[in-house]
Structure formats: C-alpha cells, structure tokens
Structure 1
Amino acid sequence: MNKAAPLIEAAKAARKRAYAPYSQFHVGCAVESADGTVALGANMENACYRLGVCAEQSALAAAQQAFGLEKVRRLIVVGGPADSGEEAGAPVTPCGGCRQAIQEAAALSGHDIEIVCCDHTGEQSITTTIRELLPAAFSLGD
C-alpha cells in the first residue's frame, strides 16, 4: 500500500472544504510532522483577489500552530477544477509563493521536505522535494 495514501485521503477531504467561488479550482493540502501529526488546509478565495490564501499556506499556518514548522517532513497537495468528476486529471504542484513558504519550513527543519502532488482523485501523482521544485530559493541566511 502507498504510504502516502492516508495523507492523500486527508488532503482530498480538506479539498472538499475549499472556498473557491471565483476560480472554481479547489485545492486541499495535508502537512505531516516528524511524529506523524497532520495539519490540513484548503484554498480560500476572496472577492479582493490578493486576499486569497493557497491551500499550502493555509496548511502550513495550521502546522505551525499544531506542531511547528521545524517538524514538517511531508506535504500532500490535491487539486483540480471543482467539477472534475471521477476522471483523473493532471497533478497539481505548489505555486511559486507556496514553494518559498515550504522552503522556509525546510530550512527550519533541516530536511528536504517531500512533496506529493496529486490530481483531484489522488490517483495521478508525482513525488518530489522542495529542493527539486525550488533549487535556488531564498533561505534563512538571505
């Protein structure tokens, strides 16, 4: 069995709580700590577009409160159009700003955080790391 399967299911459940009336693109995120504790987040849009929050940012904020960013080890992203149906789609990866936020957690933890990027069904996925997604990131020393 895929060791990320329970986290994918958690991220899918979080996706169902997304608030995306403008883009209709729903994303859920699960952040796992070193001890297996999980924090969830979903994207939340706003009529003032710049006030929207990505699922990854939402989940990282919850993770900070639940166990601290220094304990983050893995992040699962599940997303796609709201009306995607049962058919698999393309995996969704974190945007540039979210990659930078994940890098911050990686710098605090001293670990290259694993990121599993999935489509809305959780069936199509790619597994990568923050170093692979953002090789020239700003870090704590910058």
Structure 2
Amino acid sequence: MTLIEVAIALVIISIVSLYFLSYFTNSEAQSKLTNQKLSATHLANAELHKVQAIPFNDLEGRLTASNCTQLPEQTSNEIYVIDTQICRNHPKYTSNPDVLYITITTSWAPDKDQPGQYKHKVSIVGAAKKNYAIDGGK
C-alpha cells in the first residue's frame, strides 16, 4: 500500500465516522424532546384529573357568558406552564348540556422571537359530566 492509499482510506473513514457522529448527536436532541413531551403529557393528564374531581356545579359556576373560562395559569418546576380551559362545547365533540369540556395545555421552551409564546405544547381534552357519580360512572 502506498501512502496515498492510506490517506484516501483515512479520509473515507473520517467522513463515515462524522456521519454517524452527527446521527448520534441528533438522536440525543430528539430523545430529550420526546422525554419533555412525555413529561408535559403526564402533567396535563394529572391536571385533568384534578379538575375532573371538582364537583360539576362548581365548574359550571365558573363559566362566563362566553360559555368558556380560563382557570389561573400554573407553573410546574418553572419549566412547564399549564393552562386550563373549561367550556360548554368543543368543536370536535357533540354539544351536550350535561357535559363540560376541559382542555389542558402544557407549554414549555419560551420562544425568544415571540414573547409570551412557547416553542412546544401538548393539549389534551377531557370532560366532566353532570351527575357522573350518581349515574354510577356512566
């Protein structure tokens, strides 16, 4: 083997190594984002269960004339911001006077270009039913 062949082999090995190194770096960032999204989903689900535990009449009493109300914003670990909205109807579901729709949005990573906005958010929708306990959970 000549010195030129060895140099060419080293260049090829370097290019292949850099490709795989960038793959591992990108997968680490994607894994971190996935873990943050999972945490945000768990926080939203926990908040949904808290709101669903509030008696229906109390939730209904918080509604405004616009048929929706925003509960006070919460911060969890100074990373996630949790917004809770309660409405009489939801665009994806059939309207029912005995059901209130609860939308929980968990946001994180403030956007530097748009103050007050976040780069990432997860929303889940649940419901509270009038006389749910009386109906035996149906």
Normalising by structure 2, report the TM-score: 0.25
TM-score (norm 1): 0.25
